[in-house]
Structure 1
């Protein structure tokens, strides 16, 4: 429809009201009210008369155009009635404005002493005085700017409902209606600190969504508040500015452009819910006149809760788990505390009854909680691994605290250019080697546990069981956490929710199958579901090729170490070739967005990059298993710790120069890119061996601290759940967050504690129960009759013998749980 003449007034009042509010605040904060300017001589009177006549003529012409346009283009009776009603109010308001102008002009010589004096001691009188002044200012501004704004926005074509709602909002602002003033208040204003990198002004998200505009005649809701986030992409320079601009504010922005490149400014707008996404987009483009790239990525409005099929399925799954946990805990406690005389005779217990009890008992919080908090470990336990596992997990969350949240949520981003100059910031800046700790631990534990099984089976490895065990161990908890993504919209919302959470949900909706089949690391990082899960895919891919090394190590150790050496060299060559061919940095630079994405896809997320740390883990595990009593001289121990400290520090802090813009020599860059992960992992291997052989000292005391045994069991589920914690926190912020290292450390501690708490819940109600249920899916081979009498096992409760139907599931469960948890 060609309703542009009708739609103009909506835009007009929008801009007018912002100006009115500023004028109103000034008037409310002064003791003497300054009325609109009144001319004092005959020349000014004549000029004022001409301006008034011109304004009347423009308004009359605009009104005729609006009426004719409405009759021609709006055919819907409901929309026509709403627009006609609004037009009558506008025409009446315009006439009142002209009358007010004439009254003010003729009363310029009135003695001010005759004006009734409003007492300032009465609060009610003060408020009435403020209201009167606000209305006078609004009427004055409307009189001066209404015709010009009508002509300015004559090219915009808005939908009929949006136009009608905007006019109603403008008239309500003139009357100081509460809901209309709240709509203006909920919109974002120009923020302070733009020169410091403040790029977002959120407005008042909840205030906007809570606005309701009622119709007094129909007693229905005309519209609600709709929160839209306007995105403005600034053209940051990519080359040095002209020398004449170096001392200007543009020069300051140019020097910080590498921090803000690709990061848009965002302003929250509160508009009527009848305005569509396209309506808001049209207004934004006209307002900025194509000077900047403007878009409207999201609009939110409060709606009734409607569960999708995905959400119903996830809630049903959680309800089933809760029912199993309650039933299993109740049954377990009942059997734990019942008198011995009431114990059921196992000979009279039916097979299905015994199996049902074992299945329900697997979900018992009582038994699972005792096992999780148990710090008693066997003689073959590698105590230092628990501390390494926990500190690596904490390092991952610290790095993700800086990397994962949208940068637009922060105020003072310019502080980043000073933060990166701090050499200690390299712990975060160059923290991508942290994940190699997990690859090292995975290879070490795999050899350490699998070799024991090969010894008992004459070197035979059941590959089917080997793969299924690992797949179930990793996949079930991962898919549960991915399914939790779909119910996050039921928990909260916020200005950045669409950017931080909804985008991740859509990725998981499209590519969850890639996570399930473990090749998400080959997808574009921007399309992957929960991008930190690339590690699980790479780890599974290395796990699938490891039987070749395991069997070779068992039968031909020298050949096995030859394969390990070949894997390390292959990792070096592949990374060096890709780095040289693509002209990548030696390590990932956070603020180089182009290479950050490309290096993530071609190097960081690929299994060949981490093959070296994984092979070192395999070799370390074999060494610890076959040689537990190695004696070292004090000089060797001292040199080992010195070399480890220097080499690991060089890996972390040696990249300081090129992370701050100084490119390294090509040879140095290639060498660092190839071997720095392996060097860092060799340091971890020394720490592990030194602690196991008794040369760890205080380091071993710290890493083997008993609480780390419990926290180490939670690292897998905490790795799965911590991205959701960060995404939800980022999506629910209502105002800009100040960026500083202290604030980031505080957020890191919050993420760490919440992740561990949620991980403990998932560990108790899902991870441990399904590890126990794996005994039924992958039963142990039935023992021979000759060995049956020696392998009878009694149940933990009341010393009863398990029924014969459970014999094939009665392998040492405690050993299985410990073995699985180590993996």
Structure 2
């Protein structure tokens, strides 16, 4: 205790290059004197530590001895305008702090004040340096604001060898600090989360498990300090403790302090849009209530347009379990529902594992267990939505081509598809750009939410043009938005393949098969040349930021890497169309062989991914190149037979499960759930105050809560934006296109929200 107190002031005087002992605050000296009275003697070890520390900082031993004598004698000093902070409370409303030397000294002893003082003296920004000295003096004088600021910062790390890399301190205590005891130098708390990086060996860089050599360290600093000053401060402190083997990274986004909410024109515009839609929904709902109770419900274009915005009408559409279908495609709703549920659960697991956790090694253990392969195969469920999108489009467009004998204008289909998808999508993007950063706070809020806002401000136009999987991929707005771009791009070229299948019964299938082979070869060649992973591997170390992951942005989100699944969906739609239109009966042998093949391929595809997470696995570029394409082909075959079997009445209990009526409302929310899921995941990580202990139970519990929140937000978004737009689309299609791929295009067509599957993820 005495060593730290004496050397703190000695270091401060030496750093100021003006060793004038008369400039020391008399009150502080009296405080040190009282501490001396409680412990007059120093043992040999303490004296050795004192001398070694003094030597390290270049402090003359004679200066330390003189300062010690001065404190012992409690000599009188002359004030010359240097820092003098009155020990008493100037603010009568400030809660009293017990003047306990034991508590104050325990706080002082918990910190290396020598390092802090030397670092503060080197701060270039005057305002930050002044507040830094005020903090150090306040710490010795037992001031509440100083104790809170120190208390809110991370202390000696715990569990480093256990893998714990997030030391978040106390966020709320830090940002809640308000000191107005000195009207000339008011101080507020500012929370900064520094990234401390150790030098990694080349061998350590190759290890993908764990969290790497990065430590997130919380420091509570005065509000006058900018990020670069805090970075230099932390760097200087570390140089005195662990040497120069570390580097510190800290940006303005990593520092947070409470400020008044700033409302920008774009924020007002977003609110205006929401209020406008809210008013339209209210008026439409009132109109429908009036029509039901007192008015005439005779259908007309104007009536249908107004009612399409009614909350009552949209809620009825969403919760309805009716499916009028003679094509046998009810199973599609079940596949969509289960796929989206597991996609949301997979996203939750990924964000939990890559966020602040106490035991990241536990996630690595879970990934090695084959039973968890379904979560690790989350990308296959995304491919399922691509498959369903292509299948439905192919099946319905072939029906329309038969009806119109090939005379079909696809331009309205493409235009209405854009109109159907974009409004709800754009609303979520605007929410990211405006109010999302303002609805919460937390240690990682800037690192997650504000970063996402900045990316959306830069790349929103690429999103609504559906090219963001090729343009500005390092600034991807909404990590899951790549799917919409892939689906839209393939949707625009799909009519070429579908028309060729209808027009040329022999050449069309050959052409499609040739394209499938090409789409199998291309990913394999790219994987072989670039030595890529066999598929996306969800190591927590690699996915602290999706847009920063090389495989994700350079391979996973590219359309040319996903085409095989989409083309398999088109082929399945064509096969089912031929079976149903020609009343072809599947033989018992064929059905048995198809079920065995489907089960084997599906199981192998799902569970084989676990191999790549095993410690004994060694990367083989040929295996990776073969796996990247073949596992997608196998998954497409498994899904294709499942749909064909259900549609032809040989699905058994699997078909019964997929036709469960409870899944119908969920399937109608899949698109909106896909859009809002990112909000739930980012908010969870951004506001997290303390690292979570990872177990299968905690992950499952959190994943379930994320699913509930995701579908709840999806329900709200669907009622307010997606369902009304879809209602208008159906009316316009019925009026203008007469009809083209609307819900009334075929008698008994599935009454789902869209003519294609939109997940999607």
Instruction: Decide: shared fold, TM above 0.5.
Output: yes
Alignment partners' CA distance in 2, 1:40 and 1:457 = 100
Report deviation, 1:222.
0.8
**SS, match of residue 259 in structure 1:** coil
User: Which residue is equivalent to 1:523?
Assistant: 471
Choose which of 274, 278, 287 in structure 2 pairs with 1:322.
278
Alignment partners' CA distance in 1, 2:589 and 2:235 = 73
User: Which residue is equivalent to 1:450?
Assistant: 397
Alignment partners' CA distance in 2, 1:701 and 1:433 = 23
Contact 1:440 1:681 in 2 (8 A): yes
**Structure 2 residue 349 is matched with structure 1 residue 402:** yes
**Structure 2 residue 179 is matched with structure 1 residue 176:** no
Cα displacement string for residues 341-375 of structure 1 (whole angstroms, at most 9, x for unaligned residues): xx5999xxxxxxx7665433221011111122222
User: Which residue is equivalent to 2:494?
Assistant: 546
**Structure 2 residue 441 is matched with structure 1 residue 441:** no
User: Which residue is equivalent to 1:488?
Assistant: 436
Report deviation, 1:305.
1.4
Alignment partners' CA distance in 2, 1:356 and 1:741 = 54
Superposed counterparts of 1:202-221, under 5 Å: 202-215=168-181, 218=183
Report deviation, 1:538.
1.0
User: Which residue is equivalent to 1:802?
Assistant: none
Alignment partners' CA distance in 1, 2:67 and 2:595 = 86
Superposed counterparts of 1:135-174, under 5 Å: 152-153=118-119, 156-174=122-140
**Structure 2 residue 76 is matched with structure 1 residue 35:** no
Alignment partners' CA distance in 1, 2:656 and 2:578 = 24
**SS, match of residue 338 in structure 2:** helix
Superposed counterparts of 1:334-483, under 5 Å: 334-338=290-294, 343=296, 357-378=303-324, 379-404=326-351, 407-483=354-430
Alignment partners' CA distance in 2, 1:647 and 1:547 = 29
**Structure 2 residue 496 is matched with structure 1 residue 562:** no
User: Which residue is equivalent to 1:86?
Assistant: 83
User: Which residue is equivalent to 1:116?
Assistant: none
User: Which residue is equivalent to 1:640?
Assistant: 594
Alignment partners' CA distance in 1, 2:79 and 2:594 = 89
Contact 1:384 1:688 in 2 (8 A): yes
Say if 1:271 and 1:155 are closer, same or farther in 2 by CA, change over 3 A.
closer
**Structure 2 residue 502 is matched with structure 1 residue 499:** no
Cα displacement string for residues 444-474 of structure 1 (whole angstroms, at most 9, x for unaligned residues): 1002222232233221221320210111112
Alignment partners' CA distance in 1, 2:120 and 2:132 = 15
Contact 2:189 2:222 in 1 (8 A): yes
Say if 1:580 and 1:185 are closer, same or farther in 2 by CA, change over 3 A.
same
**Structure 2 residue 727 is matched with structure 1 residue 772:** yes
Q: Note the residue ranges of structure 2 that are not aligned, 5 or more in a row.
A: 1-10, 17-27, 52-60, 72-77, 89-95
Contact 1:478 1:720 in 2 (8 A): yes
Alignment partners' CA distance in 1, 2:533 and 2:694 = 26
Alignment partners' CA distance in 1, 2:227 and 2:520 = 51
Report deviation, 1:818.
4.0
Cα displacement string for residues 642-694 of structure 1 (whole angstroms, at most 9, x for unaligned residues): 22121112122224333335236554443222221011110011111112222
**Structure 2 residue 672 is matched with structure 1 residue 717:** yes
**Structure 2 residue 559 is matched with structure 1 residue 625:** no
Contact 2:668 2:753 in 1 (8 A): no
**SS, match of residue 232 in structure 1:** strand
Report deviation, 1:491.
1.1
Say if 1:423 and 1:150 are closer, same or farther in 2 by CA, change over 3 A.
closer
Contact 1:232 1:295 in 2 (8 A): yes
User: Which residue is equivalent to 1:120?
Assistant: none
Superposed counterparts of 1:274-353, under 5 Å: 274-289=224-239, 290-297=244-251, 298-338=254-294, 343=296
Contact 2:304 2:731 in 1 (8 A): no
Contact 2:199 2:245 in 1 (8 A): no
**Structure 2 residue 689 is matched with structure 1 residue 734:** yes
Report deviation, 1:810.
11
Say if 1:136 and 1:637 are closer, same or farther in 2 by CA, change over 3 A.
closer
Say if 1:821 and 1:742 are closer, same or farther in 2 by CA, change over 3 A.
farther
Alignment partners' CA distance in 1, 2:711 and 2:554 = 31
Report deviation, 1:715.
0.7
Say if 1:500 and 1:156 are closer, same or farther in 2 by CA, change over 3 A.
same
Report deviation, 1:380.
2.7
TM-score, length basis structure 2: 0.81
Alignment partners' CA distance in 2, 1:443 and 1:207 = 53
**SS, match of residue 627 in structure 1:** helix
User: Which residue is equivalent to 1:682?
Assistant: 637
Choose which of 236, 239, 249 in structure 1 pairs with 2:200.
236
Q: Note the residue ranges of structure 1 that are not aligned, 5 or more in a row.
A: 10-19, 28-32, 60-65, 69-83, 93-126, 240-253, 347-353, 784-790, 792-808
**SS, match of residue 459 in structure 1:** coil
Alignment partners' CA distance in 2, 1:764 and 1:617 = 30
Cα displacement string for residues 222-251 of structure 1 (whole angstroms, at most 9, x for unaligned residues): 121111112101223332xxxxxxxxxxxx
Specify which structure has the higher proportion of helix.
1
User: Which residue is equivalent to 2:20?
Assistant: none
**SS, match of residue 200 in structure 2:** coil
Alignment partners' CA distance in 1, 2:747 and 2:126 = 70
Report deviation, 1:617.
1.2
Larger Rg: 1
User: Which residue is equivalent to 1:78?
Assistant: none
TM-score, length basis structure 1: 0.76
Contact 1:481 1:720 in 2 (8 A): yes
User: Which residue is equivalent to 1:820?
Assistant: 754
User: Which residue is equivalent to 2:75?
Assistant: none
Contact 1:384 1:703 in 2 (8 A): yes
User: Which residue is equivalent to 1:80?
Assistant: none
Contact 2:131 2:224 in 1 (8 A): yes
Q: RMSD in angstroms over aligned alpha carbons?
A: 4.0
Alignment partners' CA distance in 1, 2:698 and 2:334 = 26
Alignment partners' CA distance in 1, 2:505 and 2:694 = 53
Alignment partners' CA distance in 2, 1:579 and 1:344 = 60
Report deviation, 1:604.
2.2
Alignment partners' CA distance in 2, 1:810 and 1:255 = 58
Cα displacement string for residues 287-313 of structure 1 (whole angstroms, at most 9, x for unaligned residues): 112321112231111111111222212
Cα displacement string for residues 159-191 of structure 1 (whole angstroms, at most 9, x for unaligned residues): 232222223333333332322222121111234
Alignment partners' CA distance in 2, 1:285 and 1:529 = 32
Contact 1:6 1:163 in 2 (8 A): no
Say if 1:449 and 1:189 are closer, same or farther in 2 by CA, change over 3 A.
same
Q: How many residues align?
A: 688
Superposed counterparts of 1:8-157, under 5 Å: 35-38=38-41, 53-55=65-67, 84=81, 86-87=83-84, 131-134=100-103, 152-153=118-119, 156-157=122-123
Say if 1:145 and 1:634 are closer, same or farther in 2 by CA, change over 3 A.
closer
Alignment partners' CA distance in 1, 2:85 and 2:727 = 75
User: Which residue is equivalent to 2:702?
Assistant: 747
Alignment partners' CA distance in 2, 1:40 and 1:521 = 67
